[in-house]
Amino acid sequence: MDRATWEAALAADGYAGPLDRRMEPGQVAPEHTHPFDARLLILEGEFILSCGGETRRYGPGEAFELAAGVPHAEAFGPEGATYLVGRRAA
């Protein structure tokens, strides 16, 4: 997905943002939740999401959503990850 299309959908669906984020190589965020819906677009590197007993790897151009309150863990590949995130109140 390209950035312009992603940002247009973000605004149309009531998300604030986007915020630019950069995570370092090998960084890990243990299981946690957020009080907001999140929508992400990966720009560079690898974002590894573990949720509901499954692990999925996202790379450049891939997008995903995570509903508020869903327990998940995050990890980042050997190059880290640069991504955009939009947030929407639950």
> Quick one: three-class SS letters along 4-71?
HHHHHHHHHCCCEEEEEEEECCCCEEEEECCCEEEEEEEEEEEEEEEECCEEEEECCCCEEEECCCCC
Tell me if 65 sits within 8 A of 15, measured CB to CB. no
Q: Which domains does the chain have, with CATH numbers?
A: 3-89 (2.60.120.10)
- pLDDT tens profile 51-65: 999 999 999 999 999
CA pair distance 27, 89, nearest whole angstrom? 26
CA pair distance 87, 77, nearest whole angstrom? 23
- pLDDT tens profile 33-84: 999 999 999 999 999 999 999 999 999 999 999 999 999 999 999 999 999 9
